[in-house]
Amino acid sequence: MTRTIDIGVFTTAQLLDAIAPSDGGRDILDPATGAIVGRAPERTTAELDAAISRARAAQRSWAQLGHRERSSYLDKAADAVDANSEALAELLSREQGKPLNGPNARFEVGACSSWLRTTASFEIEPEKVVDDGVGHAELHYRPLGVVGAIGPWNWPMMITVWQVAPALRMGNTVVVKPSEYTPLSVLALAYVMNTVLPPDVLSVVAGGRDIGEALSAHEGIDKLMFTGSTATGKAIIRSSADTVKRLTLELGGNDAGIVLPDVDVKAVAQDLFWGAFINTGQTCAALKRLYVHEDVYAQVCDALVEVAASMPMGIGLEEQNVLGPLQNRTQFDIVAALVETARESGATVLVGGDPATEQAGYFYPTTLVADIDNSNDLVTHEQFGPALPIIRYSTIDEAVAMANALDVGLGASVWSTDIDKAREVAARIEAGTVWINKHGAVDPRVPFGGSKQSGYGLEFGVEGLKQLGAPQIISY
């Protein structure tokens, strides 16, 4: 059994000091204020090689512990995250920009411990494939070895745990490469978890693109998990080919939502808003294009404008705010250009669309765009920010055709008071997950993955856990 572990409790300053490089590195800036948050190490590919070697050396003894003891370690890691939740949330807010409150920093840190505990709780037993009195065959899942994990900047802590928890539970060791934009959050999370995990089971190697490229091609990595853009995912597929490593790719999305004419607008307005604007729109499975039947189009637009007006945006450490800045200048410029293109095409900007130039930080106002054509760039390009196009439709066939027209299919949603009708429409949508009367509501028990160019492989639940194992048939 695992030994009794005293869990350390740290301040944000202590975490930053613990993860800071002894020399070199680079400053990480707060996207809300421009102030220095802390200093991140810039590791070399030689240091990556060393981390992978240590992970491989630690993997055998970690695997030999068995599921029950590894689950106990995951529970202890969750305890450590909970004990340090406020310090982690403050650091996350300062580095990523998301506010403490709302479905943001405190929510994200809480999700980390929840995912660890839930993953630890899954039962995974050998499956009888044949048992007919003549022959027997069982399906087992064995550890793969060393898993590489490359994470994004939008939910840096939570998505890291999505990758790490099932990999560790299955008996693999993990080497994480965080986004260059948000390395401190991931380094601090791993530091906290490593106060209770055995040495070298979980490593973080922060650095630039060269680290990600080396990780995806490295012969010492048995599986790679990646969350990010479709373009980078394609590059990873190519670079991983020579080593035939397994991949789980959660790539870009441009999720559609279809509002049916029988919808109760007041009942769903808040959920529609947060489906689109969670994390200030910086979420892969956020609602990014909304199709509304002509009978309720004006009502939905008015209701969303009213909700938007009630949601304060500002510096994340100020408790009243629930929307924050875009995390980086590149993303700010993308959103601004797409909204301006829509405006110039004749679309109606109902609210937002004009960032305050005198304000520090990458704040783009909550923006709703109506009377927009389905071929507009704001509809066809993933904006990944706080700007939602609202497209009018006349028939369900038309709405489904527009929703399915793009080459991505991560998530989608249908909004209606008639669940049976909503299920019929949902079955026609080409997406890995279709929610009804909600959007982006991921659950650690429910498998999640994309279709088309939104990636392949499943995460979450027992099915996601199995994808971190090597299937083995024992037949006798």
Paired tokens of 185:
């959050």
Paired tokens of 418:
């008639």
Paired tokens of 122:
């899954």
DSSP string, 117-159: HHHHH-----EEEEESSS-EEEEEEEE-SEEEEE--SSSHHHH
CB contact at 8 A, 116 and 81 = yes
CB contact at 8 A, 451 and 108 = no
Q: Helix axis angle, 67-83 relative to 156-169, nearest 10°? A: 160
Query: Which of 349, 426, 362, 355 is CA-nearest to residue 388?
Result: 349
CB contact at 8 A, 460 and 443 = yes
Paired tokens of 417:
């008071």
Stretch (H or E) spanning 183: helix 183-193
250 noted as active-site residue: yes
301 noted as active-site residue: no
CB contact at 8 A, 448 and 159 = no
Q: Given the residues 90, 284, 382, 430, select the one marked as catalytic.
A: 284
Phi, psi of 168 (to 5 degrees): -65, -45
| SS3 call for 361 | coil
Q: Given the residues 90, 108, 250, 459, select the one marked as catalytic.
A: 250
49-83: b or e for each residue (b if 16 or more CB lie within 10 Å)?
eebbebbbebbeebbebebeebbebbbbbbbbbbb
Provide CB contacts within 8 A for 461, sequence distance 6+: 122, 444, 445, 446, 447
Would you please indicate which residues are annotated as catalytic (active-site) residues? 250, 284
